[in-house]
Structure 1
């Protein structure tokens, strides 16, 4: 009888994601600059699940859309991590895990040492909102919120450095 009563008074527990997150939290939102030229979406931060509105993001920034099933992403993500490490405090580097399971994304990021803040977009809302269908996609935002979208092959370090300087005004050293 006691067991039966305790089962009736138990509180519901919200399920948490099964994968632990290798990514930093998303504490970069907000800012005083102009709103970015991005589709108006709200996506959860991979770490912690806080909702992030794309309209709250500010440049200069690099936003990399990737998936664990994307072969070019395997080459590009470590380059993005190196960019995040080299530009701390001068450039926001944000990942968007796209069309993926949380477990696959966390495992992939752990294997490749990726720790920069990442949003979770299982339904490809940002990818489709940018008018794209294939990964990887990298969005460069300048301080005025103007965007440049790069698609195609995986970015290598020299090409990424040039695109960052050209489209965000930030010079990458190292």
Structure 2
């Protein structure tokens, strides 16, 4: 039967079903494209990711500090320093503490520590004597630029590493700086002095008694 003039022809049911399937397929494909595009954006590496952060770059003046030396790899020793590596505050490689042998004096300090500044002249004088190796550990210190300034102003002319994460805390039982450890020629921690050093005589006597070296 012919429909009246002006009335749109009816679409047969089968045709309408086919059209619906085509429309749903097109919408599904469009959604999939959007989802894939969104996932790709989310998985992209943000600009600058994977590059060293500014906090790990050397601060101004760090190259003026004594460089950290390379040390031959050695097995850890019983009652020795922990097998951890700490980054150099100045130039030079990371320092693996377990590789170190004495006679060695390690001083744990921080630029925010008042007593550390009080004992610094004694450590500087011991370093000048050249009788023992020395290493400073800038401990739990959020301001490396002030640490560099501190070491330079106090004349601590020996290598320093940083331990912002307090990695040595358990091994050396660090309650806080200052702390001074005396390491013998076998790598054993011969003695740990907790607290401030009060005189040059005290420090020199500890070096003599614990390491057998007369400054």
Q: Per the shorter chain, which TM-score range? A: 0.7 to 0.9
Indicate the residue corresponding to 1:27 in structure 2. Answer: 69
Indicate the residue corresponding to 1:111 in structure 2. Answer: 153
**58-67 vs 21-30, which moves further:** 21-30
Pair 1:155–1:142, CA change in 2 (3 A): farther
Q: 1:59 aligns with which of 95, 98, 102?
A: 102
SS at match of 2:202: helix
Which structure's relative contact order is higher, taking Cα pairs within 8 Å and 6+ residues apart?
1
Report the number of matched residues. 159
With structure 1 as the length reference, what TM-score do the two structures score? Answer: 0.81
Indicate the residue corresponding to 1:141 in structure 2. Answer: 183
Indicate the residue corresponding to 1:167 in structure 2. Answer: 210
Q: 2:194 aligns with which of 142, 151, 171?
A: 151
With structure 2 as the length reference, what TM-score do the two structures score? Answer: 0.67
Pair 1:155–1:40, CA change in 2 (3 A): farther
C-alpha distance in 2 between matches for 1:105 and 1:91: 23
Indicate the residue corresponding to 1:93 in structure 2. Answer: 134
Structure with the greater alpha carbon radius of gyration: 2
Q: 1:40 aligns with which of 80, 83, 90?
A: 83
Looking at secondary structure, tell me which structure has more helix per residue: 2
Give the C-alpha shift of residue 115 in structure 1. 2.0
Gaps of 5+ in 1: 1-11
- Tell me the alpha carbon deviations over residues 55-111 of structure 1, each in whole angstroms, 9 at most, x when there is no partner: 11111100000001111100112211110111x2x4101101111121110111222
Give yes or no for contact 2:204–2:214 (8 Å, CA) kept in 1: yes
Are 2:119 and 1:76 aligned? Answer: yes
Pair 1:32–1:20, CA change in 2 (3 A): same
| Cα RMSD, aligned residues only | 2.3
Pair 1:77–1:33, CA change in 2 (3 A): farther
Give the C-alpha shift of residue 43 in structure 1. 0.3
